[in-house]
Amino acid sequence: MAIDQDKLGAFLGKAVGDLGATLSAALVVIGEKLGLYKAMAGAGPMTSAELAGKTGTAERYVREWLAAQAAGGYVTYDAPTGRYTLPEEQAFALAVDDSPAYLPGAFQLITSVLKDEPKLTEAFRTGKGVGWHEHDPGLFEGTERFFRPNYIANLTSSWIPALEGVEAKLKKGARVADIGCGHGASTILLAKAYPNSTFAGFDYHGPSIEKANQRAAAAGVADRAKFHVAKAKEFPGKDYDLVAFFDCLHDMGDPVGAAVHVRQSLAKDGTWMIVEPFAGDKVEDNLNPVGRLFYAASTMVCTGASLSQEVGLALGAQAGEARLREVVTGGGFTRFRRATQTPFNLVLEARP
């Protein structure tokens, strides 16, 4: 083998960064669960003993955790005083639950998916699916908490206004179905923003629907946001003004079948909003940090989820607009366009 030492060194350097990041995912989960970030937020420089005292945790572990956080750039370290500080930007992303940049949910999702590696390794051998419901339960809450900040940041301020005529209908009073709703984060945000409208959330995963109903009750919108177990091809109701799919069309085995059913369930001038992970149409368009994250999630979760269902089309989380257009028009929709986008999402609008 003709090894180029510089290239090998560069690759190993990159991999060391990945190794540290992978282990540090657990440190973020620990920091959130024990309130370490919250205790540091706005508190100024602290020693490990002060942080441990404030959070009722063991100083020796906290000292090691702080050093790892400092090495990763999550906190800063002042050597002369031996004190650590959580900078304001990091506090915004790590200690403020409703911040649009809140990160710990994503780390919860990722650490839960790591536990499912043996199931996925076996699926690679057999080609069989791994259903959404077969994953570690951390995935269900992690997904909710990963996506919610993004919905807080974008849903009612830019995604809904980007759809033709939908915001006005929602303000006046519309009927909305949110399919593949998981814990109902999107449904509940919409219900809070548009008090004249009524919302039905559907998902095939029973435990998620139970959680969604609890979340709606806690948010005070249970009278207008109700959740039921149903598959995307079978959800009940007609004449919806808006049917929404948040990050779930590509998880479905038969997305074309789902499109057919959505078309039959919409009012004549209704709208189908499809939010999908941002992607270009070709693999080479997606070879970047966001694409890496989504291809990895797709390998571990989305592809197997689709393969576990009928048809098993397995679009993957990086299908791209052109492929999604084929699915949507294959379901009988005549109009399809990209309404807007973020670095993480494509927001697509389909009309009958």
Ligand X SMILES: C[S@@+](CC[C@H](N)C(=O)[O-])C[C@H]1O[C@@H](n2cnc3c(N)ncnc32)[C@H](O)[C@@H]1O
Q: Which is nearer to ligand X, 57 or 187 (CB)?
A: 187
Report if residue 180 touches ligand X, rule: CB under 6 A.
yes
Least Å distance, CB 237 to ligand X, is 14
Among 181, 189, 242, 346, binds ligand X (CB under 6 A): 181
Q: CA triplet 143, 345, 151: central angle to 5 degrees?
A: 55
Least Å distance, CB 70 to ligand X, is 33
Report if residue 242 touches ligand X, rule: CB under 6 A.
no
Residues 300-319 contacting ligand X, CB under 6 A: 305, 309
CB 256 within 8 A of CB 331: yes
Report if residue 227 touches ligand X, rule: CB under 6 A.
no
Q: Which two tokens stand for residue 3?
A: 């090894």
Q: Which is nearer to ligand X, 40 or 302 (CB)?
A: 302
Write the interaction track for ligand X spanning residues 30-69; mark x where CB under 6 A is met and - where it is not.
Answer: ----------------------------------------
Report if residue 252 touches ligand X, rule: CB under 6 A.
yes
Report if residue 116 touches ligand X, rule: CB under 6 A.
no
- Residues near ligand X (CB under 6 A), total: 22
Report if residue 144 touches ligand X, rule: CB under 6 A.
yes
Q: Write out the DSSP string of 263-308.
A: HHHEEEEEEEEEEEE---SSGGGG-SHHHHHHHHHIIIIIHHHHHT
Report if residue 251 touches ligand X, rule: CB under 6 A.
yes
Among 74, 102, 107, 132, binds ligand X (CB under 6 A): 132
Task: Name the helix (H) or strand (E) containing 242.
Answer: strand 240-246
Residue 144 burial (CB count, 10 A): 23
Q: Which is nearer to ligand X, 69 or 112 (CB)?
A: 112
Among 145, 205, 215, 323, binds ligand X (CB under 6 A): 205
β-strand 83-85 against 198-203: which pairing, if any?
Answer: unpaired
Least Å distance, CB 315 to ligand X, is 12
Least Å distance, CB 151 to ligand X, is 7
Distances (CA, A) of 333 to 40, 261, 262, 352: 52, 11, 10, 5
Report if residue 276 touches ligand X, rule: CB under 6 A.
no
Q: Which is nearer to ligand X, 148 or 323 (CB)?
A: 148
The residue of the chain with the least Cβ separation from ligand X equals 182
Q: Which two tokens stand for residue 298?
A: 């797709």
Q: Write out the DSSP string of 212-228.
A: HHHHHHHTT-TTTEEEE
Q: Which two tokens stand for residue 22?
A: 């992978």
Least Å distance, CB 176 to ligand X, is 13
Residue 161: helix, strand or coil by DSSP?
A: coil
Which span (2-10, 27-35, 73-81, 174-182) binds ligand X, by CB under 6 A? 174-182
Reading phi first (left if > 0) and then psi (alpha if -120 to 50, else beta), residue 148 is in alpha
What is the CA 144 to chain-centroid distance, rounded? 6
Q: CA triplet 145, 146, 152: central angle to 5 degrees?
A: 80
Residues 6+ apart with CB under 8 A from 287: none
Residue 332 identity (one-letter amino acid): G
Q: Which is nearer to ligand X, 46 or 232 (CB)?
A: 232
Contacts to ligand X by CB under 6 A: 132, 143-144, 147, 180-182, 185-186, 203-205, 208, 231-232, 246-248, 251-252, 305, 309
